[in-house]
Amino acid sequence: MAFLAGLKVVDIDQTKASVSVPYKCLNKNPFKSIYFAVLSMAAELATGILAMAATRDFNVPISMLVFEMKASFEKKARTKITFKCTEGEYISAAVAKSIETGEGQTAEISSIGYDTEGDVVAKFKFVWTFKPK
């Protein structure tokens, strides 16, 4: 689905990630903006790719899952949208704590979508769960 929607990882390191989604025919709803589900995919990927990177830093298999999602839509998405997540250190700390305690940990992670003008289009919060297998 992400491939069909045209999601692209723009930037990634240990602390931040950016994922863009184009404004194109497949992504448009009848109101001439990007479907909320497409925006959700891009927002989740911006947080999820940091979560996957954090779990790879440890030699312990980790189960990770989205437990909850909240979203607010500030403006119609009518251009390419780039979602940014800057909470990689927080994610790594939650993963480390789950390994240290052997218990599941949760982390509420934000992903904010910006249009080409730099305006905030959508804000997402994902609650990720991490638990050693």
Coil, helix or strand for 90? helix
- Average confidence (pLDDT) over 29-41: 95
Tokens 């240290």 correspond to 100
CATH of the domain at 72: 3.10.129.10
pLDDT, tens only, 87-109: 999 999 999 999 999 999 999 99
DSSP letter, residue 34: B
Question: Total domain count for the chain?
Answer: 1
Q: Are 112 and 73 in contact (CB under 8 A)?
A: no
Q: What range defines the domain where residue 121 resides? A: 2-132
Find out whether 132 and 99 touch, Cβ atoms under 8 Å.
yes
Summarised one tens digit per residue, pLDDT across range 16-34 is: 999 999 999 999 999 999 9
Q: What pLDDT is attached to residue 58?
A: 84
> Is residue 1 pLDDT above 90, yes or no?
no
Q: Which tens digit of pLDDT belongs to each residue from 49-61? A: 999 999 987 888 9
What CA–CA distance (Å, rounded) separates 23 from 80?
5
**Does the predicted TM-score (pTM) go above 0.85?**
yes
